[in-house]
Structure 1
């Protein structure tokens, strides 16, 4: 079977030299080159919409591609089209750049000027890897064969504001709407997802930390299949093992999950570490849960400013969810939006812990009564985010009708978990 190779090269002279050499490779089928990053992503998205099999096995990215820098473009392709192998062509094939390219998702690096033997060897290896990935993706029962699932992170402005409750109910709503959904507990030292869902487990996210190439089979071995249908990837039972999950490991884990599930919800807790930061950065939607009180809102503002300083995420690309909301409180969503500079979800979650207490205490949060106003609000929030169908919410724009300050979501690339009792009380 011929290897389809898509060159992404902005320089006209480089286009000619690269396509000429690619056409000489055995079993190679170069396709029409693209001249910038936008055209590359659009081309891949169009092909993926038809079928994963329509995607080229190999994409060759020239270092001077633009307007998005080459490494950022490689990361975008690796996240959205995980079965496509990317090779970076560069005039500086130094070890530092090689490592950076690998960290961003490239499968190989070739130096300029191009040599036939080096290019042929690298293309063959990357093509074999791509074929293997597609074979594995095609063998699982719950495989999502799209251009990449939706990743949503849920962080807490401080401990105890309800981030875990929010993450669990969003994931349950997505699963109930027929989407293959994974729920990840990335609160590595104090994760409580297992407790809230009454799960006894042996494997955790830490077991994937040392694996450099996470195949669907390896991922399936680490995931716990819950009675609700959710795929759970849980925090380690021994909190000290959380240090094993580096930011690099987190990127690989999130990428593997995105390739396999339509929706990935990640509970990041309230303490920002390297792994949580990587998840927030990679997320399509980053939620920050707060309660309408001074301490929590100050915590939300502090978290947003820190994400900006660390260049993890901009304030306008972060969405605050107001939990335990009442009409009588002085701090209302518009004020929170003004203080934090973020978007604010159109759906606020009401204060009613009595509805939750029985389910929380028994560890059966997935059995929360459908008449619960808290559950209804969180499932409406899932509709607002486009994760599930909900009446009264426009899924196309992510905006709740009638709320000009609600969320406007854009695809983006993690941060924080509750240290106290989780709930909307």
Structure 2
């Protein structure tokens, strides 16, 4: 069986050169050519190619927009983006649109055909996963919704605000309270969670995406158990690859919620479409930001976005203070239109020291300002009655 390829480029001689390179391969055939994004979508629907070679700079509809439409509508078709731009931001945008590979001009014939084969192989694996899902559905009816375990998502469109620090330390605090906790690093662009636990990068979410079947036994092979009691699913060794098959996040959470009481998910600032279903499955969405004016504006924008999308989860704005300047909590809550879940005090030296030693702050400096404030919040979050903590004593509440 040959790999059926559709070539999309607005320059005819480029299309001819790509066609010539592919025709040299015994396992490939070019089934069509398109000169713009709209034509690419029409021909994808008509010809059902296995792989689309998509140039970015196209008339009428650019390659990224066409890629997003094709990947959303035609699950049996993969896309290889071709571009003169090699900057990371362009690559991220392409992968977010659903592309399986990204080639920067100029590239060799070998790089081209290997990219086509990799994308074709991934789409074949995806079809296997979807067939298994349909068979399971037919045999046992609809899978139940996520239940039992509580899913906490740490989100925020601004990077560098401390989402990973908070998620990692909160996971340890819950484990210290004898809760069964799993921490999922969903930052496929970086995956920094291992550094907080003195772990190396290793197999994780991006690698799990290529398993033919996702079940509890397969997942267990990817979890790392930390001495604190936290189970960790790393971003994976293939950090930089933004491929997650449709429905994977839901299936992952179904499995985790059968084994853990709390599942904490550390999201990147840059969200790809396949990750978005995590919001509808979350019990709480913790929106993290800074307490300065630009940070508060960003939190407000994030909260408004989640509300417009109609997510039913509890939205919990959390401020991670960068400065010692005071914060008028009442004014901030009025501006945001909801109560703050917590305000964590600035404690950069403690956090930096703990990170450099590969330890969560909670274990490295249990009595620090940051640790005590976080403990007060987790007590309220999991409903445990304890004596008043740091912020309660500070504000007399």
- Give the TM-score category using the shorter length: 0.5 to 0.7
In the alignment, what sits opposite 2:149?
149
SS in 2 for 1:191: coil
Change (3 A) 1:275 1:340: farther
Indicate which of 349, 352, 360 corresponds to 2:355.
Answer: 360
Structure 2 residue corresponding to 1:350, chosen from 345, 349, 365: 345
What is aligned with 2:320? 323
TM-score normalized by the length of structure 2? 0.58
| Secondary structure at the counterpart of residue 267 of structure 2 | strand
Relative to 1, partners in 2 of residues 1:290 and 1:108: Cα closer, same or farther, differing over 3 Å? same
What is the match of residue 200 of structure 1? 200
Contact 1:246 1:275 in 2 (8 A): yes
Q: Distance in 1 between matches of 2:355 and 2:316?
A: 26
TM alignment of 1:5-154, pairs within 5 A: 107-108=136-137, 125-126=139-140, 148-154=148-154
3-state SS of the aligned residue for 1:240? coil
Q: Contact 2:226/2:232 (CA < 8 Å) preserved in 1?
A: yes
Q: CA deviation at 1:328?
A: 3.6
Contact 2:201 2:236 (C-alpha < 8 Å) held by counterparts: no
In 2, Cα distance between equivalents of 1:261 and 1:332: 37
Alignment deviations for residues 70-129 of structure 1 (CA, whole Å, 9 cap, x no partner)? xxxxxxxxxxxxxxxxxxxxxxxxxxxxx99x98x99536xxxxxxxxxxxxxxx429x9
Distance 1:212 1:259 in 2: 21
Partner of 2:60: none
Task: Provide the secondary structure at the position in 2 that maps to 1:153.
Answer: strand
Asked whether the equivalents of residues 151 and 266 of structure 1 are also in contact (C-alpha less than 8 Å), the reply is: yes
- Cα displacement (A) at 1:276: 3.6
**Contact (CA 8 Å) 1:157, 1:296: kept in 2 or not?**
no
Partner of 1:277: 276
Distance change (3 Å), C-alpha of 1:247 and 1:126: closer
Aligned pairs, how many?
A: 263
**TM value normalised by structure 1:** 0.55
Name the CA distance, whole Å, in 2 between partners of 1:270 and 1:252.
Answer: 23
Of 363, 368, 372 in structure 1, the residue corresponding to residue 368 of structure 2 is: 372
Confirm or deny: 8 A CA contact 1:174 1:388 kept in the other structure.
Answer: no
SS in 2 for 1:217: helix
Cα offset, 1:306, TM superposition: 2.4
What residue number does 1:382 align with? 378
Inter-partner Cα distance in structure 2 for 1:350 and 1:247? 39
Q: In the superposition, relative to structure 1, how do residues 175 and 106 fare at CA in structure 2: closer, same or farther (>3 Å)?
A: farther
Match of 1:297 in 2: 296
Contact between 2:206 and 2:239, CA under 8 Å: does it hold in 1?
no
Cα distance change, pair 282–196 in 1 and its aligned pair in 2 (3 A): same
The residue that corresponds to 1:180 in the other structure is: 180
Distance 1:327 1:343 in 2: 21
Q: Please report how far the alpha carbon of residue 365 of structure 1 lies from its aligned counterpart in structure 2 after TM superposition.
A: 2.1
Q: Deviations over 1:301-324 (max 9, x none)?
A: 22222223334457xx31111112
Partner of 1:332 in structure 2? Answer: 328
Offset at residue 213 of structure 1 (A): 4.9
Take 2:149 and 2:322, find their aligned partners in 1: how far apart are those partners? 31
**Alpha-carbon distance in 2 for matches of 1:148, 1:209:** 24
Q: What is aligned with 1:6?
A: none
Shift of 1:335: 2.9
What is the CA distance between 1:402 and its match in structure 2? 12
Measure the CA separation in 1 of the matches of 2:331 and 2:135: 43
Q: 1:210-251: per-residue Cα shift (whole Å, max 9, x none)?
A: 44753221111011111222100011243322x212452112
Distance 1:193 1:237, change over 3 A: same
Q: Give SS of 1:229's match.
A: coil
Using the alignment, how far apart are the partners of 2:151 and 2:334 within structure 1? Answer: 26
- 1:62 corresponds in structure 2 to none
| Residue in 2 that maps onto 1:341 | 337
SS state at 1:195 partner: helix
Q: 2 CA distance for matches of 1:277 and 1:388? A: 31
Deviations, residues 148-191 of structure 1 (Å, cap 9, x unaligned): 11111112351111111110111001111111110111122122
Q: Which runs of 5+ in 2 are unaligned?
A: 1-128
Gaps of 5+ in 1: 1-98, 110-124, 134-145, 394-399, 407-425
